[in-house]
Chain A
Amino acid sequence: MILFLVNAIIVLFLAAPILVVMATAFTTTGYPVFPPEGFTLKWFARVFETGEFTDAAQLSALLAICATAIACTLGTLTALGLSRWKGRGQSALSAFVLSPILFPTIVLGLALLVFYSRIGLQGSFLGLVIGHSIITTPFVVRLVMASLSEFDPAVEEAARNLGAGWWRTFFQVTLPLIRPGVLAGGVFAFILSFDELVVTLFLAAPGMSTLPMRIFTFVQYSSEPTISAIATMLIVVWALIGVPLYARFLSIRHK
């Protein structure tokens, strides 16, 4: 009973800033206040009035799609390789490919900026995609590894013994079995890349602005609830896409 009460308070603490942002999106005042006063949808309309947020969202989506494609390819291959690794070096290798999770993004941002200035990728879209792929790939590796831990390698062997080639075995046997992991990893990579701010701040060309950069600048220099409206839309969309996928993925793991 005490545990339940304590946890209710902790959950409230976790939810507080999110609920507050969502509530202030509907306030009639010209700045975000909690509790909100009155009810209006004009801040949602304001998001689409000027092109600055929609343009930025498009750039973020394009960037996230490219980074996710690389992350899913590299991550799935790595997870498959690690899971069937024989001999020494597996734990060192997996620590290395997972290390970007712990690598401070502020340092990665500056390091890539210095590096790119030398090799001519400074301020390029490709440079941003590479930076985002470094950050997101380890999460794909982790989630595919998790779905591979349930995977019986004998199935692959059976397919091969029945005469299926390497490609056929991969696409018709292995991939369908690890699809929940790849899908969960891909969605997580997309959301992570779409929301990424720190590395992007270092690598974006002047005038280039992703949605998190716009939001960051807006939070610092403006006090209009427009930002609450756009944040509310992001929270709802991510929750709708991310949570069901995770729930299915986790139910597979913890049955």
Chain B
Amino acid sequence: MTAAPRRERRDWTQVLLVLPNTVWLLLFMVGALFFLFLMSLRGYEPGGRGMLDTWELSNYWAFISDPFYLKILGRSLLMALWVTIGCLILGFPLAYALSRLRGMKRALLYFAVLVPLLTSAVIRTFGWMILLSNKGFVNQTLMSIGLIDSPIPMMYRMTGIIIALIQVLLPFMVLALDAALLNIDRQIYDAARNLGAGRVRIFFRVTLPLALPGIVSGSILVFTLAISAFVTPALVGGPRIPVMATLIYQQGIALLNWPLGAAISLVMLVVLVVILSALMSIASRAMRRAS
């Protein structure tokens, strides 16, 4: 009887409630991105007149035709891939234990994951700089127990960046995996065991497929944060190991070449979108097969 007018009123309420945030994002995220796109089409003359009033594709061409830039893109992709794999390998056992624990033990393990998350990347990277230097704790320990004769250089190397970045991003992966693993009905394990499946078989045939949504969402998050990471590559890698983010920063802030910085940013976004959509289509096919 009164259902119809009430529903209509509620429809307006829901729109009004989400409107401020939507407008805010359209203006300052989508709008800013549009201006960044326009900027990437502007001509630029280094040293001389700076930004020109012309519209051209020269900035994209400058990126695509220069092996130096392409190498940086390749390096960033490889870095993000290794960091994602590392986070999956280290995150899975931790999230698995977390999802099976209850009460105080779960709270304690959660604490161990949350405190790093609440500590800024700058501070954690600083800790790794102390640990990973040639005279740092890691190398000194490895040398004193005789595993290596001379220090393994990790500072100003990709190895160091990847180690530090795995630690910086691991909490995101653990939280995503934990959320997926918590959703698994425990009775499925009992059923599998009653049907005679061994531990390994249960892990590969039951746990892993059911955790797939968490694996996908965690990997997407970690890969995206890794390929665009600035702080850790800037501090551990320094100018010797440029990645996409430090390159964008250098062009935008140090060299004030906004058009090229904008073009590099958009190349990175496009590459990211292509990779993530490929990953998601593979994952959705795998999930369909599993179910």
Contacts and interface: CB of A to CB of B under 8 A. Distances in A.
**Do A and B come from the same complex?**
yes
Interface of A: 3-4, 6-7, 10-11, 13-21, 24, 32-35, 73-75, 77-78, 80-82, 84-87, 93, 96-97, 99-115, 118, 130-131, 133-134, 137, 141, 191, 195, 197-198, 201-202, 212, 215-216, 219-220, 227-228, 231, 234-235, 238-239, 242-243, 246-247, 250-251, 254
A99 to B, nearest CB: 8
Contacts of A84: 10, 13-14, 17
- Which among B21, B35, B231, B244 has the greatest number of chain A C-beta atoms within 10 A? B21
B219 interface: no
Interface of B: 7, 10-11, 13-18, 20-22, 24-25, 28-29, 31-33, 35-36, 39, 90, 93-94, 96-97, 106-107, 109-116, 118-131, 136-137, 164, 167, 170-171, 182, 220-221, 224, 227-228, 230-231, 235, 244-245, 248-249, 252-253, 258, 261-262, 265, 268-269, 272
Contacts of B114: 242-243, 246
A15 to B, nearest CB: 7
Contacts of A99: 25, 29
Contact of B18 (A77, A113, A216, A231): A77
A-side interface mostly = helix
Contact of B118 (A97, A202, A242): A242
Given A7-B93, A34-B131, A35-B137, A238 B118 contact: yes
A107 B125 contact: no
Given A101-B221, A134-B24, 9 more contacts: A11-B109, A21-B130, A81-B17, A86-B7, A93-B22, A107-B269, A113-B258, A197-B230, A238-B118
Contacts of B17: 77-78, 80-81, 84
B235 A111 contact: no
Contacts of B21: 74-75, 77-78, 97, 137, 141
26 contacts: A14-B116, A15-B112, A17-B124, A20-B127, A24-B130, A74-B21, A82-B14, A84-B10, A85-B14, A86-B7, A86-B14, A103-B29, A104-B269, A106-B265, A110-B36, A110-B262, A111-B29, A111-B32, A114-B39, A131-B28, A133-B24, A137-B21, A195-B121, A216-B235, A235-B115, A247-B110
